Structure 1
Amino acid sequence: MLVFFIHGVSTKNSTYAEALIKNIKKQVRKTKVETSLYFYSSFWGNLFNHKKHQFLDYIDKDYSRACQQHPEYKFWHDDIYRYRSRRKELIRNFLGDFLIYQNPKRGQIIRKQIFEEFNQFIQDHPKETQIHFIAHSLGSLILWDILFSDVISNDDSVLHFRDKLHKLDLVSITTLGSPLLFLKEMLDIDFSIVNAVIDKSSKNYGNGYKLRWLNIIHSSDLMAYPLKASIENEINSDLLFCDQYVWQDANGTELTLRNMGQSDMAMVIAAEDAHSSYFYDTLDGAITARIISYNLLGEINKLLERCITPKLN
């Protein structure tokens, strides 16, 4: 069983999924199901870092010019362009990667990098025929483009990717912290295209489903949204789609602020941790791993009987 990760925004090294993989393995061992699991964490986060730095340099230059032009306000320069450090974090951690991927040529280079890693992964495990994808944040859009998009150019490596996939059995997809609901509206994505793809690339194992798609949402993650209501009239009954909620506070400060009635401040404090929490070696990460293990192992009843998980049993 091959499990391939595609990360999203603000991922700085290739070990981003190590804690989650450890917890998934732990959960699978608890089931005592005999299966071989092979994981690969694809990594494209070092591509185009220079573009983000260049973007920030432009902003700093314009801000400095404004300050130089108005020395009479030197005691208020920090107030002219407020929250500079937070703005930089927003660009580095979220907007930069998202905007970079929207550029067609850069998006194509990112997909090429992921294809090369995927190709090496399956070559290293030639006897394995089942493939599972786990995609976080922007990675869920990248995965959509790789598997399903019908607006791919003829020179895109996605076509080679799909050729390789035809020799494998696409069993499950897990999306973490996914903004696909908004991207569906922004890009006018029609999920009915999934039906034709899984007819060709997936088998029915007797449970009535050719593909399982699990969408995991941390309750405090402002980037993650449920998706089922928006797509249920577009997908066929042989695609099992489940939204699952990890009902936790992202950190202690969020919990404290919520208990004090400071919901707006709690939301801001929690946002970044919540969006990354799926990968943490914490209770959030352990819950995420357990739900993923259900999807990998095809424990459909457990996915269907509970969609809100506040704690581990």
Structure 2
Amino acid sequence: FDVWVGGGLSTNPKIGQRLGAWVPLDEVPDVYEGVISIFRDYGYRRLRTRARLKFLVADWGIEKFRQILEDDYLKRKLVDGPAPDQPVARWRDHVGVHRQKDGRFYVGFAPRVGRVDGATLTKIAELAAAHGSGRLRTTVEQKMIVLDVEQEQIDSLVAGLEALDLRVNPSPFRRGTMACTGIEYCKLAIVETKARGASLIDELERRIPEFEEPITININGCPNACARIQVADIGLKGQLVLDGEGNQVEGFQVHLGGALGLEAGFGRKVRGLKVTSDELPDYVERVLKRFQEEREDGERFATWATRASEESLT
């Protein structure tokens, strides 16, 4: 494994940093025990606003962090290693039908903004038991996976999931939109998120059905970034904004062009760019169409958003 430390989002986001070390599988527990122990012994745990490893790494620097990890905790040097290869997959969310190492398959599907009610969960469990081993997984992208499916069972399982409106081959909007719990169940949230995200998916599928590029749209109900707004193509941070008549209404501050992976970076904020909840479908449609018009061949949305003019992003 390649080791990274010190990442985190919320109101003070920081990108994790590479230790520059390669760790074989059997040494992984020693390394993460060492990293956690450094936080226990040196982290700012008495200060609630700084009780995260990212603040310690930012103050120490990555060289000092690695030295202390090696000298004081592991009692040995780590093996230097190159950065991992650039990923080639267009998506990294496990959606679709994929072969497992044992020759069977797993089937990943996309609930709308990660919301699944109890009755639907029961039906998913029944499908997993009938078509696989009964094993299910959830993912950090608000997706679900049925494991251990034999090849002859794939079509039946996909049909059963699709009948529940759980898409195995979803549109980019269904596949790439996620939302935090929002004001419906969270006392910190300022705006509604789940229903807003679901309606946004429906509107975008209707308005630009030809759009096929990977796109992530992350919707958060407050500044705390549970839905990781800073590292989405389009990140939406909930807040109260003024509408055209001067009334306070639910809306979002917009972050554009964030990304994870080896080209990680935080989204760009255009000064004064905020949209009301009602204006959201119009705004996202407008920006995505400008991306289609202005992008270079093979260019990702995040790359385009970084270089695009402010006029193209508003």
Give the TM bin, normalised by the shorter chain: under 0.3
Q: What is the TM-score with the length of structure 2 in the denominator?
A: 0.24
Hey, which of these two has a bigger chunk of helix by percent? 1
Q: What is the TM-score with the length of structure 1 in the denominator?
A: 0.24
